[in-house]
Amino acid sequence: MKSVDSIKNRKMRFWLKKVLWRHIVGIIVASFALFPLVWMISAAFDVTGQISTQQLIPVHKGLDNFHQLFSNTEKPFGIWSKNSLVIAISAAGMQVIIGALAAYSLSRHRFRGRKLTLSTILIVQMFPQLLAATTLFLIINTFGKSFSILGLGHQLPLILIFGGSALGINTWMLKSFFDTLPTEIDEAAKIDGAGHFEIFRKIIVPLATPIFVVTFLLSFIAIINEYLITSVILGLDGNNMTVAVGLQQFIYGQYGKNWGPFTAGALLATIPVMALFIFLQKHLVSGLVSGATKG
């Protein structure tokens, strides 16, 4: 009995000395990480929609903000969400496919100027796109005169613009991963008579699913976040906006700062993304870390 006790005691002491403070740090950092989220939730259920009176547990609880979000025909949140999803899924999908093709070639084929190609596509995209907004407007406006669905106010041109963006960073991430896949498998397939595209499709793609998921997710979030080029190309007509552009309309101007519906919308937009993040956490972490630690 005594020995068990002492083991228990020792365990307890160990816990107090080595574990307890880790929990304390953990709780502090967790509160920092969750801080805006908690207030976002609280404000979303606070019907007064004011920052100045807002309490952690709202005094006037209710779903008014959510009702407002879906009943406002000038600010149709439902349509914004659909727009955001359509644009982000298609463009992120495009980014992954185009990036994967480029990365496969850069990882598996030996050719002159390989390093230069990769650095070039990485560096080129660091040119600030802000000023290019008016140029893009002019290009898309010209498109629109010839093909209406490629014109301003349509989603297709925006998907194409985003589909080609982030090529550098995605290619780099995907290539890092492809490099970790042993080339022996390709060699074996080659001997069996497989062409380069078959090797890509039948061997690389299945093995690289986790990194595709990560790349897709990061691209998806980046596109959901974009509002500048989006607002220039789609315009600010109520039905054309995305969540990122549209929700900002709630908090413009004095007395017009309507935090209630804004936070309600932000919460609705955050939940699915966050769920995906947590659900795919393992892939995400390994994807990000592999870039950092592999040689």
Partner 1 sequence: MKLHRLGVGLLGVSLAFFGSMAPAQAAGSITVWVNSGEEASYKAASAAWSAKTGVTVNVVAKCGLGDCGLSKLGPAGAGPDLFTASHDNTGSLVKSGVVTSLSSVIKKNAYPSAVISGVSFNYQQWGIPIAVSNIALATNLSLVPAGAPKTWKDLESTATSLISSGKANVGVVTHIDGYFMQPFFDSIGGYVFANKNGAYTNTKQVGIYSKSLAKNASLMDTWLEKKIFDKSNTYDGSNFTNGKAPYAVVGPWSIDGLDKAGIKYQISSIPSINGGTARAFSGVTAVYLNRFAKNKFLAKQYLVEVVQTAAFSKAITAANNSFPANIEAASSIDPNSVAGKFGAYGAVCIPMPNVSEMNQVWTYWNNSFADWASGKAKFGAAMESASKNLNKALGNS
Partner 2 sequence: MNIKAVSKGSKYVISFGVILLLLLMGTKLFQDKAWFLAIFFYLSAALIFYTYSISKNTPGKYLLPGVLLLTLFHIYPAFYSGAVAFTNDSNGHQLSKEQAIAAIVQDSKVPIDSQEPIKYQVLLENDSDKLFVIFKYDSQDYWLSDGNTVKSLMIDSKNISMDGTIKEIDGFAVLNTEQAQGQVSVLQNLVINLESGISLQPQDLESLEVSQPAFVYNLAKDELVNTLSGEIYTPNDNGQMVSKSGEALYPGWKANVGWRNFSSIITDKEIRRPLLAVLIWTFANAFLLVLFSFLMGLVLALIFNFPALRSKRFYRTIFIIPMAIPSVLSILVWSGLFTAETGVIDRLFNISTPWLTHPWWARLAVLIVELWSTFPYMFLITTGAIQAIPGEILEAAEIDGASALKSFTQIKLPLVVRTVAPLLVASIAMALNNFGAIYLLTGGGPTFSNSNGNAGATDILISYTYKLAFNAQEGNNYGLASALSILNFLMVGIISIYGLRKMKTMEGIN
Q: Which of residues 56-75 bind partner 2 (CB under 8 A)?
A: none
Residues that bind partner 1 (CB under 8 A): 49-53, 74, 133-134, 137-138, 141-142, 144-151, 153, 228, 231-232, 235-238, 249, 253-258
> Burial, 245: exposed, middle or buried (Cβ in 10 Å; 0-12, 13-18, 19+)?
buried
Residue 235, classed as helix, strand or coil, is coil
If one asks whether residue 25 binds partner 2 (CB under 8 A), the answer comes out as: yes
* Residue/partner pairs of 66-73 with CB below 8 Å, 24 or more apart: 66/264, 66/268, 68/260, 68/261, 68/264, 69/261, 69/264, 69/265, 69/268, 72/261, 73/238
Partners of residue 46 on adjacent β-strands: 61
Of the candidate residues 23, 60, 61, 67, the single one contacting partner 2 (CB under 8 A) = 23
Length of the chain: 295
Of the candidate residues 82, 151, 273, 283, the single one contacting partner 2 (CB under 8 A) = 273
Of the candidate residues 93, 179, 181, 186, the single one contacting partner 2 (CB under 8 A) = 179
Q: Which of residues 101-160 bind partner 2 (CB under 8 A)?
A: 101-102, 104-106, 109, 111, 114-115, 117-119, 121-132, 134-136, 139, 142-143, 145-147, 160
By beta-carbon proximity to partner 2, the closer residue of 1 and 179 is 179
CB 75 → partner 1: shortest distance, Å? 9
Structure tokens at 175: 């290539």
- Chain-centre distance of CA 91, in angstroms? 12
Of the candidate residues 7, 12, 16, 29, the single one contacting partner 2 (CB under 8 A) = 29
